[in-house]
Amino acid sequence: MLLFVPTIVLAADSKEIFFLPEIVEEVLEIVNLVFAILAAVFAVKLAALSQGGDLEKTWNLMAMSAFAFAVVEVLGALKEFGLLQISGLTEIFELIFIILMTYTFYKTRKSLLKRVMGK
């Protein structure tokens, strides 16, 4: 929690700090977009392969999480390059992503504990 205090203080002053040149940010945005889409594609393929397996639900939830993250990255890239901005949509998909990841970790932990404890 203490690590976020400097960020909160800087945000309160609303000072803009330049860390990377704009061209580097744009390149990183494109790289993030490509990897987010690849991750979503691979997650869906893995979920398809794991059908009927012990961790089928985990892989399905991970695929949905990866898809939500890819949507967040697509919306971020569209906004960054000034092509399209839908206020609040990114935040909704971020919330969906966070909820899905949290639920995935919870269910997987519960499933693995059940297997380890033999119940």
Annotated domain spans of the chain: 20-117
* Alpha-carbon span 114 to 55, nearest angstrom: 13
Q: Is the pLDDT of residue 22 over 80?
A: yes
Q: What is the pLDDT of residue 1?
A: 57
* In contact, 59 and 47? CB cutoff 8 Å: yes
Residue 4 has a pLDDT of 59
**What would the pLDDT profile of 39-94 be if each residue is shown by its tens digit?**
999 998 988 888 887 788 888 999 999 999 999 999 999 998 889 988 899 999 99
> To the nearest whole percent, how much of the chain has pLDDT over 70?
86
Provide the pLDDT for residue 52.
Answer: 82
Res 68: pLDDT? 94
Euclidean distance between CA atoms 95 and 18, whole angstroms: 27
Q: Quick one: three-class SS letters along 61-90?
A: HHHHHHHHHHHHHHHHHHHHCCCCCCCCHH
With 70 as the cut, is the pLDDT of residue 2 above it? Answer: no
Residue 3, pLDDT score: 61
| Helix orientation angle between 56-80 and 22-49, rounded to the nearest 10 degrees | 160
pLDDT at residue 98, rounded to an integer: 95
pLDDT computed for residue 19 by the predictor: 79
Q: Crossing angle of helices 56-80/89-117, nearest 10°?
A: 160
pLDDT (0 to 100) of residue 15: 65
The three-state secondary structure class of 15 is: coil
pLDDT of res. 8: 60
